[in-house]
């Protein structure tokens, strides 16, 4: 059973195809957006239970449930073909974000949120030594995991080779990159690799990248949080493709 916490994530889950079994609501919580949850749950014949806040506190992983938790089926990871099909449905060149050992679930959720908002067609994560989809990642994504395909693979390096065979150019985000992001033209099928919070992209994965790109910096701090860096580069790609 997967726990979906918070009002907006629950609303987005109800709007999507997520398989929700029950919604638990603090009977003393202020109504507000709960009315929308009641409405959507009624339309889908989903059971709502009024419970004490103490129960929600025990179930909550991030302790920010806002008075509502949905109990849903475990997250169903998608296949890479699902990402390509999504791009085809939108009549767009594929744009995939590949995460190399991102270990913080908040960063994972935030990157998925940026990717969905800014026009990427999917996210790929490794099965081991990396953050996985859980209730905290789902909350950080603000419901984006219900719309954007997320795939898990055994080996990122091998996956990059497979993506190249399908026509993608692989760009790696690296503070010592060859080009600034605004100097590169992202008018091709794109795979964007974002490295781990501490050490960046691993050596073997970096060797598979076609081009390393960097974000221009002007401050005294010369690095960004992984999710912030991802958002900036994803936005640059979206901006260029929208011109």
- As separate numbers, helices (DSSP H) first and strands (DSSP E) second, the chain gives 9, 11
Alpha carbon 176 to chain centroid, angstroms: 25
Question: What pLDDT, on the 0 to 100 scale, is given for residue 1?
Answer: 78
- Provide the pLDDT for residue 236: 97
Strand partners, 102: none
Q: What is the pLDDT of residue 198?
A: 81
What is the value of pTM for the model shown? Answer: 0.85
Would you call 93 helix, strand, or coil by DSSP?
Answer: coil
CA-nearest of 83, 77, 54 to 67 is 54
**Residue-wise pLDDT tens for the chain (243 aa)?**
788 999 999 999 999 878 899 999 997 776 778 889 999 999 999 999 999 999 999 998 878 899 999 998 888 899 999 999 999 999 999 999 999 989 999 999 999 999 999 999 999 999 998 999 988 898 899 889 999 999 999 999 999 999 999 999 999 999 999 999 999 999 999 999 999 878 889 999 999 999 999 999 988 887 789 999 999 999 999 999 987
pLDDT score of 19: 87
Reduced to 3 states (helix: H, G, I; strand: E, B; else coil), residue 1 is coil
């Amino acid at each position: 059973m997967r726990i979906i916490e918070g009002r907006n994530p629950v609303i987005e889950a109800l709007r999507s195809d997520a398989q929700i079994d029950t919604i638990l609501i603090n009977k003393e919580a202020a109504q507000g957006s709960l009315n929308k949850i009641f409405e959507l749950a009624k339309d889908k014949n989903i059971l709502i239970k009024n419970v004490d806040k103490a129960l929600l506190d025990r179930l909550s992983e991030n302790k920010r449930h806002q008075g509502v938790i949905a109990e849903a089926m475990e997250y169903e990871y998608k296949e890479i073909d699902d990402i390509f099909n999504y791009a085809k449905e939108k009549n767009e060149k594929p744009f995939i974000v590949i995460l190399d050992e991102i270990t913080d679930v908040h960063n994972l959720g935030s990157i998925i949120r940026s990717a969905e908002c800014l026009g990427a067609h999917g996210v790929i994560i490794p099965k081991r030594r990396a953050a996985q989809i859980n209730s905290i990642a789902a909350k950080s994504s603000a419901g984006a995991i219900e719309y954007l395909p997320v795939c898990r693979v055994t080996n990122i390096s091998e996956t990059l080779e497979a993506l190249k065979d399908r026509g993608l150019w692989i760009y790696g985000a690296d503070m010592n990159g060859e080009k600034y992001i605004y100097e590169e033209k992202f008018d091709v099928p794109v795979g964007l690799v974002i490295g781990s919070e501490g050490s960046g992209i691993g050596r073997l994965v970096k060797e598979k990248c076609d081009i390393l790109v960097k974000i221009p910096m002007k401050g005294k701090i010369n690095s960004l949080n992984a999710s912030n860096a991802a958002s900036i580069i994803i936005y640059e790609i979206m901006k260029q493709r929208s011109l």
